[in-house]
Chains A and B, each alone.
Chain A
Amino acid sequence: MALLSVDQLNVRFDTSDGVVHAVRGLSFEVNASEVLAIVGESGSGKSQSAFAIMGLLASNGNATGSVQFKGDELLNKPTDYLNRIRATGIAMVFQDALAALNPYMRIADQMTEVLVYHFGLSQREALAQSIAMLDAVRIPDAKNRIRLFPHEFSGGMQQRVMIAMALLCKPALLIADEPTTALDVTVQAEIMDLLAEVRREMNMSMILITHDLGVVAGYSDTVMVLYAGQVVESAPVQTLFDSPGHPYTIGLLNSILRLDTEDNALYAIPGTPPNLLLRQSGCPFVERCEFAIERCHSENPALNEYRLENVTRSRACHVEINS
C-alpha cells in the first residue's frame, strides 16, 4: 500500500472576483522512501495541493476528494485529528523560513514545543534532542545558537532550522515546498544535499515542490508536472528528461537556461498561464501550445496512463508527440 495516496483532489477558493479552481482532479501516490517532485509555474496549484494535504488551506479554500495517509483519510478532518499526524507522520518545510518561524520565540522554545506536544518529553530531554538535531543539520555551535531568535540567523541557517524542526519527530513523509528558492545557489546545493542525506538515513519519503528543473533532476525519483491546477504529465525522472511527452514539458525543458550548452538562442513558451477564474472548456495549455488541434479547444484531455519502453507514465494530451 502506498504511504500517501491522493485521489481526485480538487481545491477551490471563493474570492470576491469569483471561484478560483486552484487544483483540479489531482491523483497520485507516494511510496515509502520515494521522492516525488511536483513541478509547475506559480499559480499551477503545487503549493495549494500540499496545503490541502496538510489541512492548511486558507479559510476561503475548499478541498474535495480523498487524501489517505497509511490508510487514514485526512481531508477535511478536524485540527485535533490532523495534529496527531502532522510532524510525526507528515512534516512540512516551507519556502520562506523567516516567515514560517515564529519571530517572537527563541529557536529552543519553538523546537522543544514540538517534542513536548507530540511525545510528552520533559523540557530537558526535548532541549537535548533539539540541539542534537541542529547539530545534525550542521548548524555550528548549536548548543548556544539554539537560544537565538530566527532573525539572528542567515537565510540558509534559517532553512536548516526549519528542516531540523520538521525532522524532530522523524516523519514518514516530508513535504518540502520550494525549500531552496529563496537561497543562493551555493547554499541551495548544501541544503539539497543535506535533505538527500537525512532522507536516505531516515528512509523517509519526500514530496519536493519546486519550479527548478535542475533541482528535480538531481533529487527526485518521479516527476509530476502541473499546469493550471492539473497534472499534464507524470513520469520517472530520467524518462521525463529524456523523452518529455507533453508540449508543456517539452517547452519547459527547452526554455531552461543551461550552463552546459553553447547555444545562445533560447526557446520561450509564448503567452502566459490562463486565468484560473475563467473556466475554459478545452485543454488549459491550448493557447500556448504549438501542437494544438481542433479538439484541444473543446475537450480537456484526461490523464492517460501508457507504457513506453517498459516505463509506465502518464500524460494529458490529445496529440501524438514523437520527441
Chain B
Amino acid sequence: MTKPLLEVKNLCVDYDIRNEHALPWKSPQTLQAVKEVSFTLGAGETLGIVGESGSGKSTLARAIVQLEKATGSILWGGDTELIGLSRQQMLPFRSQIQFVFQDPFASLNPRLTVGQIIEEPLTVHQPQLSRTQRRERVRSMMHRVSLLPNQINRYPHEFSGGQCQRIGIARALIVEPRLLICDEPVSALDVSIQAQIINLLNSLQKEMGLAMLFIAHDLSVVKHISDRVMVMYLGKVMEMADCSVLYKQPSHPYTQALISAVPLPDPQQERSKKRILLLGDMPSPLSPPSGCVFRTRCQYATTECATRTPQLQSTGNSSEHSVSCHFPAVSLS
C-alpha cells in the first residue's frame, strides 16, 4: 500500500487565555481549539471539513502548515514529521502545501500587481529561475485560472471578488504544491461565481493531481468537491465518512442537524421537509461540556453522554465511516 500524503494523529491546538481582570499570579485558562484530531489524506484526494463557526476548522488547517503551535503528529509523505520543525526546516514543505484564503481582497497585497503577487512564491521557493522563466510561468498560470494576459499589471482592487479568488488560486498553485488547503474559498462569493470557482478547483485538481483540504461551513459546497468529509464540533471530530455515505446516512445527530438545516432550493420540498433543530447555542470552548461535547444541544442525550466521552469509532457498515457518538442513528429517515 502506498503511504498517505498526509497523516495527522492526535493533533491538538491549545491557546492560553488570560482574563483581562485576572490577578497576575493566576495561571491562564486553556482553550482547546482542536482536540485529538486524526485523519489521513492520500495523494489526489479531497477531504472536506465542515462545522459551524468556532468548531476549529480553520485552526486545524493553520496548524497543519505550522501557523499555529500544535501537539501530536503531522506526518508528511509518510516519513517527515512537521511538528517541531524550525521555520528554516519548514521552508521546503511550504512549497508543497499551499493555502487559499477566505477573503479574496484581504489575502492579496494591495500594493503589488497581479503579476508580482503570483510571481512572489517562485522567488522564494525556486530562486534558480530567471526573471523571464518566472514571467513565463506566471503567464501560463494566469491562463490556467482564466485570467487575461493583459491583466498582469493591474492591481487587486481593479478585480471582482471571483477574479481575486482566481489570483489567490494562481498564487498558491504556481509552485506546484501537492496539497492545497482551501479555507472557505467561496463563502464570500456570489452564487453564480461560486460555481465558477468550484469548477475551476475541480479541474485544476484533476490536471495537477492535487490533494485538497477543503474547509467550508456550507455542506452543499463540500458535497460537490470532496471525496471524504469530516464534521467538526467544538474542536473535535464528530463524524467522518465518504461523501456519498455521509450525506445519505449521517449517523451523528450533529451531522443530521447540519444537513437538515440547509435550505433546499425547491419550494415544495423545503416546506415539507422535517428539520432537526439544535437546542440553544454552542457552549463556550473555554468550558466545554463533560462527556460528549455535543450533548448540551443533542435531543437524544442521556446521562451516559454526560459521564462518558464517546470515541471516534467505525460504524461497521463501512470501514471508512466513523462516528463519535454513544447512540449513532442508523439513518436519517
Contact = CB atoms under 8 A, between A and B. Distances in A.
Contacts of B160: 272-273
Q: Which of B160, B193, B198, B271 has the most CB of A within 10 A?
A: B193
Interface in B99-138: none
Contacts of B223: 257, 259
A85 interface: no
A218 B224 contact: no
B192 A41 contact: yes
A56 interface: no
B252 interface: no
Nearest to B243: A264
Interface in A181-235: 184-190, 192-193, 211-218
A162 to B, nearest CB: 16
Contacts, number: 125
A258 interface: yes
A213 B275 CA distance: 18
B219 interface: yes
Nearest to B146: A270
A266 B277 contact: no
Contacts of B262: 185, 214, 259
A214 B270 contact: yes
Contacts of A214: 262-265, 270
Contacts of B219: 185, 259
Contacts of B24: none
Interface string A268-307: 1110110000000000000000000000000000000000
B191 A213 contact: yes
B53 interface: yes
A252 B219 CA distance: 18
Nearest to A236: B267
B191 A156 contact: no
A89 interface: no
A252 to B, nearest CB: 6
A8 interface: no
Given A41-B190, A266-B198, A184 B162 contact: no
Contact of B263 (A187, A218, A269, A270): A218
A251 interface: yes
A93 B270 CA distance: 23
B270 A217 contact: yes
Contact of B220 (A186, A258, A269): A258
Contacts of A187: 52
A268 B196 contact: yes
Nearest to A154: B281
B247 interface: yes
Interface string B154-165: 000000111100
B263 A215 contact: yes
Contacts of B162: 272
Contact of A217 (B190, B193, B217, B263): B263
Q: Interface residues of A toward B: which range?
A: 35 or more
B269 interface: yes
Interface stretch (B27-35, B253-261, B307-315): B253-261
A309 B194 CA distance: 34
Contact of A186 (B194, B265, B266, B278): B278
Interface string B212-240: 00000111110110000000000000000
B36 to A, nearest CB: 23
A257 B191 CA distance: 8
A212 B187 CA distance: 12
B53 A140 contact: no
B268 interface: yes
B218 to A, nearest CB: 7
B271 A255 contact: no
B252 to A, nearest CB: 14
Contacts of A211: 190-191
Contacts of B199: 266, 268
B265 A256 contact: yes
B266 A217 contact: yes
A20 B277 CA distance: 43
Given A257-B221, A258-B265, A272-B162, A184 B53 contact: yes
Contacts of A267: 195
B280 interface: yes
A217 B265 contact: yes
Contact of B247 (A154, A184, A193, A259): A259
24 contacts: A42-B190, A155-B53, A184-B217, A185-B217, A185-B218, A185-B258, A186-B258, A189-B261, A213-B191, A214-B262, A214-B263, A214-B265, A217-B267, A218-B264, A238-B268, A255-B191, A256-B265, A257-B221, A257-B223, A258-B220, A259-B219, A259-B220, A268-B192, A268-B198
Interface of A: 41-42, 140, 154-157, 184-190, 192-193, 211-218, 237-238, 241, 251-253, 255-260, 264, 266-270, 272-273
Which 8 A-B residue pairs are closest in the complex by CB-CB distance? A214-B263, A268-B195, A255-B195, A257-B220, A218-B270, A41-B190, A189-B261, A184-B52
Given A186-B258, A192-B263, 6 more contacts: A186-B278, A189-B275, A238-B267, A238-B268, A257-B218, A268-B195
